[in-house]
Structure 1
Amino acid sequence: MLKMQIIGNLGRDCVVNNVNGKSVINFTIAHTERFRDAQGNNQEKTTWVDCAWWTDRTAISQYLTKGKQVYAEGNPEVRSFTRTDGTNGAVLSLRVREVQLLGGRGEGGVPVAGGGYNTGTTGAAPSGSGTDDTADDLPF
């Protein structure tokens, strides 16, 4: 089994589709890696991952909007295709099993306990309070 985990920003608002009576939420996550090349110049490389989440929990779709930072986990797939000019191409996609909202641009990260949406455990809607009373109990 292959497992992929990604943290990145949504490239656009998600789209909810119905395929043969089942709901699928499609979204795209972008992860940008910043590094220095051999000459010491700052470089950026952005990897785009197309995500498909087959779920009945479509209520989260209102929160999956462009710019939001998310964590997604699932099984990776590579799809090959032929471009219009005849060259071959490939797309990295993820069959999502779990999604967590982390925040958005300018918001900073929001801990899962303070309003995240962990589909693998609770299934509860995100809370709007953004407070976390357990933070005072941390030993560091």
Structure 2
Amino acid sequence: MARGMNHVYLVGALARDPELRYTAGGVAVCEVTVAGEDLVIGSDGRERRLPWYHRVSLMGKPAESVAEQYKAGDAVMVEGSLEYRAWETPEGQKRSAVNIKGLRVEGVQRSDELVRDAGGGVRLPNGLNHAVLVGNLTRDPELRYTPGGDAVLGVGLAVNESWKGRDGNWQERTHWLDVTLWRELAEATAQLKKGDPLMVLGRVTNESWTDREGNKRISTKVEATRVEALTRGPSAPGGAVTTPAASRGAYGNAPAAAKAAGSRSSGLDIDEGLHDFPPEEDLPF
């Protein structure tokens, strides 16, 4: 498996005041909603500003520090990662979610006038919403086309993470992430196979949907703007080998973002479904 890479960078405004709580074990947890706008080019060549709202979780001392230092409307930079978690509810139902784990928050000096949304929150125009991932495809890509003729490809990416635990031993876990690719980028990536290593650059999006029980859920994905197919194993003598998919699809724009499910965020819809937390023992420490 490729050595994992998992980075998220956001520059936006706090849509509302930070929310600080404590677990039963006394660990501080701070939730902030960072909001901004992405500038994308549509299939018609027109520029569109797509609003985004991302929930970021911090734990421990950093959580308390953020809650004390920042308030709604403050412009911030967030460095973090996408974190996959799976758990079982008391009723025996299996649940999973992808969240943004905050590692660092800094204030940003911006003179932009904030945009106020219908839900009473604010967001920062000309924000930054950027993800960088390296992982392995979890299945063979299946290319499909929209009624309008746009190629679209949804792939699963397994991103591994390793760290040294409190006992000094190395531990590993895998984050199962969903990536969406459009048009030429989708067609170029479709020839890859399950297990192939892939580097993805893109924007984090949220997709709302309703489960079989009628509950509203939110799926967090990455909409790719560029991909690089990586080599398996050691590089050949003379340098890295670029696969045809990488040479054909290394550069890409996400022009269909205006139509994508992830562009439908408005107000503070991100709040829906956020109270279904995993058990405390599954929280990172």
Report the TM range for the smaller structure's normalisation: 0.5 to 0.7
What are the Cα deviations for residues 48-104 of structure 1, in whole angstroms up to 9, with x where unaligned? 211110113514411x21111110111112345566678876533111111111023
Name 1:16's counterpart in structure 2.
143
Going from structure 1 to structure 2, the CA distance change for 1:9 and 1:40 (only over 3 Å counts) comes to same
Structure 2: 5+ residue stretches without partners: 1-127, 253-285
The aligned runs of 1:39-54 (5 Å cut-off) are 39-54=167-182
User: Aligned residues, how many?
Assistant: 119
Larger Rg: 2
The TM-score, its normalising length taken from structure 1, stands at 0.68
Name 2:130's counterpart in structure 1.
3
Is the 1:22–1:56 Cα contact (8 Å) retained in structure 2?
no
The aligned runs of 1:1-140 (5 Å cut-off) are 1-20=128-147, 21-57=149-185, 58-62=187-191, 64-79=192-207, 90-104=218-232, 107-108=233-234, 114-116=241-243, 117-118=246-247, 119-121=249-251
For the residues of structure 2 that align with 1:112 and 1:89, how far apart are their CA atoms?
45
The TM-score, its normalising length taken from structure 2, stands at 0.36
Shift of 1:120: 4.3
Q: CA RMSD in A?
A: 3.0
Is the 1:100–1:112 Cα contact (8 Å) retained in structure 2?
no
% identical aligned pairs:
24
Letter in 2 for 1:27: V
For the residues of structure 1 that align with 2:227 and 2:182, how far apart are their CA atoms?
12
Going from structure 1 to structure 2, the CA distance change for 1:85 and 1:121 (only over 3 Å counts) comes to closer
For the residues of structure 2 that align with 1:46 and 1:26, how far apart are their CA atoms?
19
Going from structure 1 to structure 2, the CA distance change for 1:16 and 1:121 (only over 3 Å counts) comes to closer
For the residues of structure 2 that align with 1:112 and 1:91, how far apart are their CA atoms?
38
